[in-house]
C-alpha cells in the first residue's frame, strides 16, 4: 500500500529529479516508510513511490521495482491477497523470485500472462508498468475501484498520481474546477466518482475494472471486468445459500489477515463491522494460514457521547463476544472543528457528509502502531443495507382490500423497531402503499407503472428544493457519463437498485472517502465484503435472499448465526458511521458554516443559501436531510476557495 506517481515527457524532455521528488512527496502521508525514484535510460520517464510497508518489510521489496533484467518497471498501490498461490503457480513454471513481496509476483504474472493476469488477482490495486522493450506503459485499476489512479495526458506529457492534490505540485499545472462534474455532484450528491471525471479539469481517473496502454502520446483504455459476466450458480434454499456465503466470507477474511505488520479493525457496532470483527477473531484463533499476522486482536471504536448515533454500547457487545481488545475514544464537536480544515484538505474531494469520524479513527490506529484495518465497507451496497426491509415490503404490499389482517400483522412486525403504536404504524403503511392498492383489480394492473412514469416525468423538469442554489446557467450542464442505461434489466428490482449503488453511485464514493481518510495516516483498509468471489456470488442471488422476512442483508445474517451477538445480528436498526451533523450544526460548527458562505462562488448562489441556512438554524430544525444537503454546498465552497491553490 502506498502512493504512486509518474511522468512521461513524450517530447523527450528530461524529467528533473526535483520535479518527480516533489510530485512523489506530495503523497508522503500515503507512504511514510520511504521514497523510491526511478528514471528511464533517457530520463524522459520517471516513476515515484511512497512506501507503506505491509508485505516483505525489507528494502528488497522497495518500489519502483524491476523485473526481467530491467525490461519491466512497476509502481503499484494496493495488495494482492492471493499472491502466495500465484507465486507458487509461477514457480512451478520456472520463475525465480528475489523478494517475498506481492509486487514482484505482479511483474512475473505480467511477464507470463500480460493483461490476463488481472483476473487471477484477488485484491485491490492501481498499477503502472513500463515495458522498455516495447516502450509503453500498462495501467490498470482493480475490479471495483478500491484504489485510485488519476492521470492527465496531453500531446507532450502523461502524468499520474494517487490523489488529485499531487498534481498541484507540478510547475506547469493550473488547477481549475470542472464545472460539469461539480454541478453534477451538487445535483446528485453522488454519481461522479464512478466516471472518468474529477473535480479538476484535464485530470481524469481510470474507472473501476479498467486498464489500458499509454504509447506514443496516446492512451487507449478498455474495460477488463464486468461483474455480470462472472455470476455463478447458487443453491436453492436460503440455508444452503447462507452456508456458502459464510464459507466465502470467512475465506475473504483469512486472505486479508496476511500481513507482516499488526492487523486491527475499525468497529462501529453495526452488523457489517461486527461481522468482520467476529469472523476475524474466529479465523485468528484457528490460525493455519500462511503469512497471517500474529497481531490481530485490536479494535478501534469512535464514540459520540450523548448523540443519537453513538453505537458504543453495541460495539462493547461485540468486543466482549469476540474477546478482542478495544480502543475507545470520544469525538466532540470542539475537536472536530479544530481539525476540520486539515481533514478537508486530506479528503481531496467533496462529499455530502462531514468526514471527521473516519479521519479520527484511522489516526487512532496509527497512534497505536496498527497500520492495517479490516473493515465492513461494501456490505450495505451489496446486500441492501440502504434499502430498508420495511420500505421494500411496503412498495410492493399485497392489496389491503384483500389482505387487511395479514398486512396489519406484517406492518407491525416490520415497524416494531420504531416504538410507535399499531395505529401509527398502520397509517405509515397506508401512506406508502396506497398507489399500488388498485392492483387488486385486474383492469388497473399497469397503474403503478403509469403513476411512476408520470411522477418521474414531472420531477425530471422540476428542480428539487436543494438544487435551487446552483447557478442557473450551470445547472443544465450535461454530465457526459450517465449510468442509467448500464443497469441490467434482467436483474430483479432489488438487485437493480443494489447494482446501481454498488457500481455507480454510493459505493464508488464511499471507497474514495475511506481511501483518503485512512491513507491520510498511512493506514491500509481491507474489505472482506469486497472480495470479488463474494460480490459475484451475492449478485447471483435473488433479491429475496437479501431483503426478506423484515430484514435487509438476510443471507449474511443467516450466515452469521451463532457467530456474533444475536442482538446485533438480528437488529433492524441502521445508524451509520457518521458525525452527528444535526447536533453539531446547532452548536459550534455553525459559525464556521456561515464563514464559508461568505466566500465567492461561480457555481453557487451563496446569498440565497445563506438565507436558508440562517432560517433553519433559527428554527433549530436541522435534521440529516438538511445537514447533508447544506454540507455538500459548504464543502464545495471550501474546496473551491482553498483546495485550488498550488502546493
Q: CA 122, CA 99: separation in Å to the nearest integer?
A: 20
CA angle at 240 for the pair 239 and 245, rounded to the nearest 5°: 100
CB of 80 closer than 8 Å to CB of 121? yes
Dihedrals phi, psi of 328, to nearest 5 degrees: -100, 140
Catalytic residue among 2, 128, 137, 283: 2
Given the C-alpha cell 446528485, which residue does it identify? 188
Hey, which residues does 3 pair with through a beta bridge? 50
Q: CA 530, CA 376: separation in Å to the nearest integer?
A: 9
Radius of gyration of the chain (CA): 25
- CA dihedral over 472, 474, 475, 478, signed as positive or negative: positive
Q: CA 607, CA 469: separation in Å to the nearest integer?
A: 9
Nearest to 30 by CA among 209, 163, 189, 119: 163
Given the C-alpha cell 494496493, which residue does it identify? 78
Assign 3-state DSSP to the chain and report helix, strand, coil percentages, each to 5.
45, 15, 35
Distances in Å between the Cα of 355 and the Cα atoms of 316, 580, 582 are 23, 11, 14
CB of 496 closer than 8 Å to CB of 487? yes
Q: Are strands 218-223 and 210-215 parallel, antiparallel or unpaired?
A: antiparallel
- For 528-547, give the secondary structure using H, E and C: HHHCHHHHHHHHHCCHHHCC
Q: CA 204, CA 522: separation in Å to the nearest integer?
A: 24
- Helix residue ranges, H only, 162-212: 179-188
Given the C-alpha cell 456458502, which residue does it identify? 244
2 is catalytic: yes
CB of 271 closer than 8 Å to CB of 568? yes
CB of 362 closer than 8 Å to CB of 403? no
Q: CA 104, CA 110: separation in Å to the nearest integer?
A: 10
Q: Which three cell numbers stand for residue 584?
A: 453539531
CA angle at 111 for the pair 109 and 117, rounded to the nearest 5°: 35
Crossing angle (nearest 10°) for helices 356-367 and 333-347: 90
Half-sphere exposure of residue 178, counting CA atoms within 13 Å on the CB side? Answer: 20
DSSP state of 639: I
Q: Are strands 2-9 and 45-51 parallel, antiparallel or unpaired?
A: antiparallel
Q: CA 6, CA 24: separation in Å to the nearest integer?
A: 8
Nearest to 397 by CA among 426, 423, 419: 426
Give Cβ neighbours of residue 617 (< 8 Å, ≥ 6 apart): 585, 586, 590
Sheet arrangement for strand 157-161: 35-39, 45-51, 2-9, 157-161, 150-153, 204-205
Strands (E), 433-516: none
Q: Which three cell numbers stand for residue 37?
A: 525514484
Given the C-alpha cell 496476511, which residue does it identify? 258
Q: Give the residue numbers annotated as catalytic, written as ranges.
A: 2
Amino acid at each position: 500500500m502506498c502512493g504512486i506517481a509518474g511522468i512521461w515527457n513524450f517530447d523527450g524532455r528530461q524529467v528533473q529529479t526535483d520535479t518527480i521528488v516533489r510530485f512523489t512527496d506530495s503523497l508522503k502521508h500515503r507512504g511514510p516508510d520511504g521514497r523510491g525514484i526511478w528514471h528511464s535510460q533517457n530520463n524522459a520517464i520517471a516513476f515515484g513511490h511512497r512506501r507503506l510497508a505491509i508485505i516483505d518489510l525489507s528494502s528488497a521489496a522497495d518500489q519502483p521495482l524491476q523485473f526481467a533484467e530491467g525490461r519491466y518497471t512497476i509502481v503499484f498501490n494496493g495488495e494482492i491477497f492471493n499472491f502466495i498461490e500465484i507465486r507458487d503457480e509461477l514457480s512451478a513454471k520456472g520463475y525465480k523470485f528475489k523478494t517475498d513481496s506481492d509486487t514482484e509476483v505482479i511483474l512475473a504474472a505480467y511477464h507470463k500472462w500480460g493483461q490476463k493476469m488481472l483476473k487471477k488477482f484477488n485484491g485491490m490495486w492501481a498499477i503502472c508498468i513500463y515495458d522498455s522493450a516495447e516502450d509503453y506503459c500498462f495501467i490498470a485499476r482493480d475490479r471495483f475501484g478500491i484504489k485510485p489512479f488519476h492521470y492527465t495526458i496531453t500531446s507532450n506529457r502523461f502524468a499520474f498520481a494517487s490523489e488529485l492534490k499531487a498534481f498541484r505540485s507540478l510547475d506547469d499545472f493550473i488547477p481549475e474546477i470542472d464545472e460539469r462534474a461539480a454541478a453534477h455532484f451538487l445535483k446528485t450528491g453522488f454519481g461522479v466518482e464512478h466516471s472518468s471525471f474529477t473535480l479538476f479539469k484535464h485530470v481524469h481517473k481510470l474507472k473501476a475494472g479498467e486498464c489500458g496502454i499509454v504509447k506514443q502520446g496516446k492512451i487507449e483504455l478498455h474495460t477488463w471486468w464486468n461483474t455480470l459476466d462472472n455470476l455463478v450458480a447458487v443453491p436453492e434454499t436460503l440455508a444452503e445459500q447462507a452456508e456458502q456465503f459464510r464459507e466465502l466470507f470467512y475465506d475473504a477474511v483469512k486472505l486479508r489477515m496476511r500481513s507482516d505488520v499488526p492487523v486491527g479493525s475499525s468497529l462501529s457496532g453495526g452488523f457489517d463491522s461486527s461481522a468482520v470483527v467476529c469472523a476475524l477473531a474466529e479465523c485468528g484463533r484457528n490460525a493455519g494460514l500462511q503469512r497471517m499476522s500474529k497481531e490481530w486482536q485490536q479494535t478501534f471504536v469512535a464514540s459520540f457521547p450523548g448523540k443519537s448515533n453513538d453505537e458504543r454500547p453495541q460495539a462493547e457487545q461485540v468486543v466482549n463476544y469476540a474477546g478482542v481488545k478495544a480502543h475507545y475514544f470520544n469525538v466532540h464537536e470542539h475537536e472536530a472543528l479544530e481539525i476540520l480544515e486539515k481533514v478537508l484538505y486530506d479528503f481531496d474531494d467533496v462529499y455530502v457528509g462531514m468526514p471527521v469520524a473516519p479521519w479520527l479513527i484511522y489516526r487512532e490506529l496509527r497512534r497505536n502502531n496498527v497500520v492495517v484495518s479490516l473493515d465492513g465497507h461494501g456490505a450495505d451496497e451489496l446486500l441492501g443495507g440502504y434499502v430498508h426491509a420495511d420500505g421494500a415490503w411496503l412498495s410492493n404490499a399485497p392489496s389491503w382490500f384483500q389482505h387487511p389482517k395479514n398486512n396489519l400483522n406484517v406492518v407491525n412486525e416490520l415497524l416494531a423497531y420504531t416504538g410507535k403504536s399499531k395505529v401509527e404504524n398502520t397509517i405509515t403503511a397506508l401512506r406508502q402503499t396506497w398507489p399500488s392498492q388498485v392492483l387488486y383489480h385486474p383492469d388497473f394492473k399497469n397503474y403503478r407503472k403509469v403513476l411512476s412514469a408520470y411522477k418521474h416525468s414531472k420531477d425530471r423538469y422540476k428542480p428539487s428544493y436543494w438544487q435551487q442554489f446552483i447557478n442557473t446557467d450551470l445547472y443544465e450542464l450535461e454530465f457526459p457519463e450517465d449510468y442509467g442505461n448500464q443497469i441490467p434489466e434482467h436483474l430483479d428490482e432489488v438487485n437493480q437498485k443494489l447494482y446501481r449503488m454498488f457500481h455507480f453511485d454510493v459505493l464508488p464514493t464511499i471507497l474514495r472517502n475511506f481511501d483518503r481518510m485512512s491513507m491520510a495516516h498511512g493506514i491500509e483498509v481491507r474489505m472482506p465484503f469486497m472480495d470479488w468471489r463474494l460480490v459475484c456470488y451475492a449478485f447471483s442471488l435473488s433479491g429475496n435472499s437479501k431483503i426478506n422476512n423484515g430484514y435487509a442483508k438476510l443471507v449474511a445474517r443467516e450466515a452469521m448465526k451463532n457467530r456474533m451477538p444475536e442482538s446485533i445480528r438480528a437488529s433492524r436498526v441502521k445508524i451509520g458511521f457518521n458525525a452527528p451533523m444535526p447536533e453539531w450544526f446547532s452548536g459550534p460548527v455553525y459559525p464556521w458554516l456561515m464563514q464559508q458562505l461568505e466566500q465567492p462562488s461561480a457555481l453557487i448562489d451563496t446569498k440565497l443559501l445563506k438565507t436558508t441556512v440562517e432560517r433553519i438554524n433559527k428554527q433549530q430544525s436541522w435534521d440529516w436531510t438538511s445537514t447533508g444537503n447544506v454540507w455538500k454546498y459548504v464543502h464545495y465552497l471550501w474546496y473551491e476557495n482553498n483546495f485550488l491553490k498550488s502546493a
